[in-house]
Amino acid sequence: MKAAVIYENGSPEVLRYEEVPEPECPDGCVIVDAEAISIEGGDLLARAASPPPAVPWIVGYLSAGTVSEVATGVDAPAVGDRVVALNAVGSHAERRAVPAMMTWPIPEGLDAARAACVPVAFGTAQECLFTAGNLAEGQTVLVHAGAGGVGMAAIQLAKQAGATVIATASSDEKLERLKAIGLDHGINYATDSFVERTNELTDSRGVDVVLDSIGGQNLVDSIGVLAYRGTLVSVGVAGRSGSTIEAQSLWTKNNTLRGVYLGGALISEYARIHPMIGEMLERVANGELVVEIDRSFPLAEAAAAHEYIEGRNAFGRVVLTP
């Protein structure tokens, strides 16, 4: 089969489109023939900075397609079922082996590309806003990187919960388009200070929750926009740099810093997280929530797809098709 693999970490050019061995189907697993592959932020980080434990190495979390093989003892899904599949590695390929428990049926009427984009983005946004952030009706949230996968999911979920939504993005055009899915106030971080603009928009009160997927100085500066007893939720390092936060900076307003990692929650709280993601898929299928696909690339052009995302060109999601 064909796959996009890496032999070393680096820029998108390290991705090579090659023939690799067919996956085996260990106990508890299924083989999924991919129809669509969602490129996640973690896929970019793995390619750039996580040394491959073996080579060639297939990066990638999420794909969606049809089950072609089932290991002994697996009751569901069955051969022929269409599913979304999540695993730590292996999505950038024509087919992959995944634990059966890490699959979700694709609801009727939902195409594979949009289904593949749901579990990590919407599951993460849900956890950040409501489990970590305790966002409630009437409160205000600031979502960084609003035009990304988690950002667009968070805008919709927050707005539907009755919150006022502020978001940052790299252009006025993206911010204008985000209004259609629930954005109340946009901040162009390329031209404005999000700290100053957020405090202006809230009459210096600040926001109840900040969702930060950027990390670095962006995370540190976000403390300056928190309201009294506000919560700063850290969920990523898209800026590719760590953060040093002085605990005393949280004291004055009795603020909270929370971290979210959906993969850890799936392992520790499977009974809660797995059905929650299934519900998100149903909400997308029935039109309550929207997945915006910006562009689709052939799997053979995975390097170009990664470069497109890292160039901040995308509005919404980018997918690969075998």
Which domain CATH number covers 130? 3.40.50.720
pTM score, whole prediction: 0.97
**CATH code at position 110:** 3.90.180.10
pLDDT score of 171 = 96
Residues 112 and 125 reside in one and the same domain = no
Model confidence at 242, in pLDDT bands (50, 70, 90)? confident
For 183-238, how does the pLDDT look when each residue is reduced to its tens digit (9 = 90+)?
999 999 999 999 999 999 999 999 999 999 999 999 999 999 999 999 999 998 88
How far is Cα 3 from Cα 92, in angstroms, rounded to an integer? Answer: 6
Verify that 112 and 133 share a domain, yes or no: no
Query: 188 lies in which domain range?
Result: 120-263
The answer to whether residue 39 scores a pLDDT higher than 80 is yes
Radius of gyration of the chain (CA): 20
User: Do 245 and 127 lie in a common domain?
Assistant: yes
More confident position, 241 or 203: 203
Task: Name the residue with higher pLDDT: 72 or 139.
Answer: 139
- Final residue in a domain of this structure, among 247, 263, 279: 263
Q: Are 240 and 146 part of one and the same domain? A: yes
d(CA 225, CA 209): 9
